[in-house]
Structures are given as structure tokens and as C-alpha cells.
């Protein structure tokens, strides 16, 4: 566990950092200072943060240092720097949601997520940039968050700064939200691990909703095992993943959603990496079978009436009176959401129930489903609802509808652009353990986390 530099330290795993703390070889103060220095160095290039809580973080780090010096037993996240998407209420600290409308909003209570992280002893040092209200577009007041693999490309949305900062070594984890892919897509673009847990696995109390039927909260990390550590700390239902990482997936059944790989919309380099990843699962002695889900062809008929009508509902106190304060893309989708007929919304909810049952039935035959996370590596600008070149939600939003845990891990880098591509694993409700086990075995076999040169 030799440390070559402060930068090297920032790319350790959470377990490695905890071991260094307990051995008193490294201090939480040292790690927090290095994190803040890395943030200062890269922020002009990445634009990954809206609010930095440096003073508060250093005070918490000093408290954590005293605890480790006394040799007290603490949890796995204790003294570890993490960030959160600027969508969670934080008492006395700005919560902007990347919007002009809430640019000066200071909540008088904390979100469940923030309280859970504080209770774990994690050091929360900043609130990340994001697409406006986690919806269609970045607001020009805040600007696009850039990708550490290529700062001329986006980090993806809507948990933009969360993915970019973790990939760049600014913090060991971040917490984002995912309504149609907003954890998994930026994680795929940035080459990290992003989990959308089972619906309501993490309480949404104190979260500003985009679509309450589809919103999920989950962790973004560099390794699968780090992700499991964070989920243990924020899950509303107690969970422990200590014994799941066996290193073997022999005999486990992996269902390949072939239609989502063979689609004409898939970037050739992405298809190549995904297929290679599936072959690797077979080489690891998993049993790989093809799975058909015909309902995916019309998934937008379920997703869009729910997402758009609920999205507009949560903005009725501002729209249309403050329409001029929204980014153009957000304004467009809000206007359309108010036009969704009530009958279409109720029909979509019924079809959501039926689709959820269909996905659940597939797990009678397989342990996980697998497909690409995104149809391409990172694009130059944020994909948006009005950009129909690719449907960036087609591979992710089905599992928001069904509520299943879904995790993305890098399948490798494209030969042409040297950009990450994500492989997505989907599991049974409340079976994050199996998803973690298979994804960890894959990530380890694939060489572990690869960090950008930034």
C-alpha cells in the first residue's frame, strides 16, 4: 500500500484509506487537504462543484483524526471525503439544484441522505454541479461539467459533477440521483461505478423530486467494493455486504438483453467492448444466455407520460410565471409535461406495474441481466430530450420503471477515442448483493479501476 504522492493517495480504495487511518500512517486531515487541493487544481477544467464546504470539512477531519489517534472503533466511511449532488437539502447550506430559481435557497432541514452520511462519519466537502433540476439541460448560469477523460466532452447527466469529481480523484465517492439514468450514464461516460439501488432502498426524504415514481438515490465510486461500502452507510434498510465478494461467479446465470446491443444506435466501439465484456463473463464460468424483452421497443410510452407529468407537477409553483428563469431545454420539457392527459398518465402507471412484473419474472431464469449502459462513450455536449440522435435513456430508464437495482462498471476504453464505455448489470429487487458480486468479479478480471491522466 505504498503511497507515491498525495495524488496516489486520493485514488486508494475506501478500505485502503481506512486501513491507513487505523495504522495512523495517514491522517483524515491530510487526506481532506489533499482532496481540497485536487479540487482547486481541477475545478477550472471540470466545473464539477457548485458549493465547496472546505472549512466544515477540515473541522470534521480534525475530529476524525482525534478519534483514530485514540484507537476507537468506527465505521468504514469514517473520515473519508465524499461529495453529494446539489439536489439534497442541507440545513444552512445552499441547495441550488443547478437552477437560477433556487440559486440562493438555504434549507432549514437536512435530507435523510445528508444525515445518514454525517452519521457514518464521512467528511462531506462539497455539493456537485448537475443538470438543472436533474432534468433536461444544464443551466447557463452554472455551465456544463466536463469529463476528466477529455475535458472537451461532457461528463453526462444529470449527476454530472458527482461522476466527474470521483473519476478525477476529488473525493472517494459521491451520491447522486437517477430518474432515467442520471447516475449510470455519467458513471459510464467517466469510467466509474454507479449504482441505482432498488426503488426506495435509500429514503428520498429531503430530496427535490424530478419524478417521484422513478427517482432513486445511489452512490458513485471508483470500485464496486467502495460502492457497497457507501450503500451500507446510506441504505434505509440495514444491509451488510462483507461476505459477498467471493471472486467467483461460476455457474451464475447472466441474461444478455441482445436487442440493446445489436441496435443500430450503438457506437461500434461501445458494442465491441460490451460484447467483449459478455465473453469475459463466460470465461469466468458464468452461464450466459440471451433474453428477449419485447416491451423495451415501446418503453417510452410508459416512461415519458410518467416522467414528464410528474416533472411538471413539481414545478407548478414556478411555471409558467418564472419560465424565463429556466434553461431553454428544461422549459421545453416542462411545457410539454403540462399537456400530458390524465388518462395517459394513469395508463402509463398501469403499464409500469405490468412491466415491473415482467422484469421480475425474468429472474426465475437468470441471476442478473446485462446490457450496455449507454449507446456511446461521452459526447461533446449533454444529451437532451430535444436531441434525438440517440436515445440515451433506452437502456437505463426501463429499470427505473421496474425499480430493480442496476449498476454500471467500465467495460474498457474505446480504441478510437480512448473513452470509457459502461456495462450494466441489473438484479432482482433488493438483491444488490448479487449485482455487486458479479460486477466486482468482472471489474477485477478487467484490471480494476483505470484512472484518467488529468
Span 38-61, mean pLDDT? 98
What pLDDT, on a 0 to 100 scale, did the predictor assign at position 136?
75
Average confidence (pLDDT) over 373-391:
75
pLDDT mean over 340-368: 98
Sign of CA dihedral 150, 156, 162, 167: negative
Report, at the CATH architecture level, how domain 8-445 is classified. Alpha-Beta Complex (3.90)
> Which range among 213-217, 255-259, 260-264, 315-319 shows the weakest confidence by mean pLDDT?
260-264
User: Could you read off the pLDDT of 124-183 as tens digits, one per residue?
Assistant: 999 999 999 999 799 999 999 999 999 999 999 999 999 999 999 999 999 999 999 999
Query: DSSP characters for 247-307?
Result: S--TT-EEEEETHHHH-TTS-HHHHHHHHHHHHHHHHTT-EEEEE--GGGGGTHHHHHHHH
Give CA–CA dist 123/132, Å, rounded: 25
Q: How confident is the model at residue 4 (pLDDT cuts 50, 70, 90)?
A: low
List the catalytic residue out of 182, 233, 235, 309.
Answer: 182
- From the list 60, 85, 127, 352, the catalytic residue is 85
Q: What is the pLDDT of residue 337?
A: 97
Q: How far is CA 110 from CA 28, 162, 207, in A?
A: 24, 19, 9
What pLDDT does 326 receive?
97
Beta bridge partner(s), residue 407: 195, 425
43 in Cβ contact with 143 (< 8 Å)? no
Residue 142 near residue 50 (C-beta atoms within 8 A): yes
Average of per-residue pLDDT across 423-434: 98
For residues 377 and 155, what is the distance between their CA atoms, to the nearest angstrom? 10
C-alpha–C-alpha distance, residues 92 and 108, integer Å: 6
**385 pLDDT more than 70:** no
pLDDT value of position 441: 98
Rounded CA-CA distance 304/312 in Å is 12
H or E segment at 163?
helix 160-167
Q: Which of 150, 156, 292, 175 is CA-nearest to residue 233?
A: 175
* pLDDT above 90 for 3: no
Instruction: Say if residue 392's pLDDT is above 80.
Output: no
Q: Does residue 309 have an active-site annotation?
A: no
**Tens digits of per-residue pLDDT, 90-109?**
999 999 999 999 999 999 99
Are 98 and 116 in contact by the 8 Å Cβ rule? The answer is no
- The three cell numbers of residue 388 are 434525438
Specify whether 187 is catalytic: no
pLDDT surpassing 70 at residue 2? no
Cα atoms in the Cβ-side hemisphere of radius 13 Å centred on 350: 6
Please, what's the b/e burial string for 374-385 (b: 16 or more CB within 10 A of its CB; e: otherwise)? bbbbbbeebbbb
User: What percent of the chain clears pLDDT 90, i.e. is strictly above it?
Assistant: 95
Q: Could you tell me the pTM of the whole model?
A: 0.98
Residue for cell digits 448483493? 433
Length of the chain: 454
Instruction: Round the average pLDDT of the chain to a whole number and report it.
Output: 96
pLDDT given at position 6: 84
188 is catalytic: no
**3-state SS, residue 207:** strand
Q: Look at residue 54 and tell me whether its pLDDT is greater than 80.
A: yes
Cα 419 to chain center, whole Å? 18
Domain segments of the chain as ranges: 8-445
SS3 call for 161: helix
Answer whether 48's CB lies under 8 Å from 164's CB.
Answer: yes
Catalytic residue among 99, 158, 213, 235: 158
Residue 63's alpha-carbon distances to 55, 56, 58, 301, 349, in angstroms, are 13, 11, 9, 52, 48
Mean pLDDT of 321-348: 97
Amino acid at each position: 500500500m505504498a503511497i507515491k504522492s498525495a495524488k496516489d493517495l486520493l485514488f486508494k480504495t475506501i478500505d485502503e484509506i481506512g486501513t491507513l487511518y487505523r495504522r495512523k500512517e495517514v491522517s483524515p486531515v491530510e487526506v481532506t487537504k489533499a482532496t481540497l487541493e485536487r479540487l482547486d487544481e481541477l475545478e477550472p477544467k471540470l466545473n464539477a462543484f457548485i458549493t465547496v464546504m472546505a472549512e466544515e470539512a477540515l473541522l470534521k477531519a480534525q475530529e476524525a483524526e482525534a478519534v483514530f489517534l485514540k484507537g476507537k472503533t468506527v465505521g468504514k466511511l469514517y473520515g473519508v471525503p465524499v461529495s453529494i449532488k446539489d439536489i439534497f437539502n442541507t440545513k444552512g447550506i445552499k441547495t441550488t439544484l443547478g437552477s437560477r430559481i433556487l440559486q440562493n435557497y438555504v434549507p432549514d432541514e437536512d435530507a435523510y441522505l445528508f444525515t445518514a452520511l454525517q452519521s457514518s462519519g464521512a467528511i462531506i466537502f462539497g455539493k456537485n454541479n448537475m443538470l438543472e433540476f436533474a432534468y433536461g439541460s444544464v443551466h447557463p448560469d452554472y455551465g456544463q461539467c466536463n469529463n476528466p477523460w477529455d475535458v472537451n466532452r461532457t461528463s453526462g447527466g444529470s449527476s454530472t459533477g458527482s461522476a466527474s469529481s470521483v473519476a478525477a480523484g476529488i473525493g472517494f465517492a459521491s451520491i447522486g440521483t437517477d430518474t432515467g439514468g442520471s447516475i449510470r450514464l455519467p458513471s459510464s461516460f467517466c469510467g466509474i461505478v454507479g449504482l441505482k439501488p432498488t426503488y426506495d432502498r435509500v429514503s428520498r426524504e429531503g430530496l427535490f423530486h424530478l419524478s417521484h415514481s422513478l427517482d432513486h438515490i445511489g452512490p458513485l465510486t471508483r470500485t464496486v467494493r467502495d460502492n457497497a461500502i457507501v450503500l451500507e452507510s446510506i441504505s434505509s434498510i440495514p444491509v451488510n455486504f462483507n461476505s459477498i465478494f467471493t471472486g467467483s461467479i461460476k455457474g451464475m446465470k447472466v441474461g444478455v438483453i441482445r436487442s440493446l446491443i445489436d441496435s443500430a444506435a450503438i457506437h461500434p466501439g461501445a458494442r465491441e467492448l460490451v460484447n467483449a465484456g459478455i465473453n469475459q463473463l463466460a470465461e469466468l464460468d458464468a452461464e450466459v444466455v440471451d433474453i428477449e424483452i419485447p416491451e423495451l421497443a415501446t418503453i417510452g410510452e410508459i416512461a415519458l407520460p410518467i416522467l414528464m407529468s410528474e416533472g411538471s407537477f413539481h414545478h407548478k409553483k414556478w411555471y409558467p410565471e418564472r419560465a424565463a428563469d429556466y434553461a431553454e431545454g428544461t422549459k421545453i420539457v416542462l411545457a410539454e409535461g403540462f399537456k400530458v392527459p390524465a388518462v395517459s398518465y394513469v395508463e402509463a402507471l398501469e403499464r409500469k406495474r405490468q412491466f415491473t412484473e415482467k422484469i421480475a419474472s425474468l429472474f426465475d431464469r437468470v441471476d442478473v441481466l446485462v446490457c450496455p449502459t449507454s449507446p456511446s462513450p461521452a459526447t461533446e455536449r449533454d444529451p437532451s430530450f430535444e436531441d434525438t440522435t440517440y436515445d440515451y435513456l433506452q437502456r437505463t430508464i426501463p429499470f427505473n420503471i421496474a425499480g430493480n437495482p442496476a449498476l454500471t462498471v467500465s467495460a474498457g476504453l474505446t480504441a478510437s477515442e480512448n473513452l470509457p464505455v459502461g456495462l450494466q448489470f441489473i438484479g432482482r429487487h433488493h438483491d444488490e448483493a448479487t449485482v455487486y458480486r458479479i460486477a466486482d468479479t468482472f471489474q477485477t478480471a478487467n484490471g480494476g479501476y483505470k484512472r484518467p491522466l488529468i
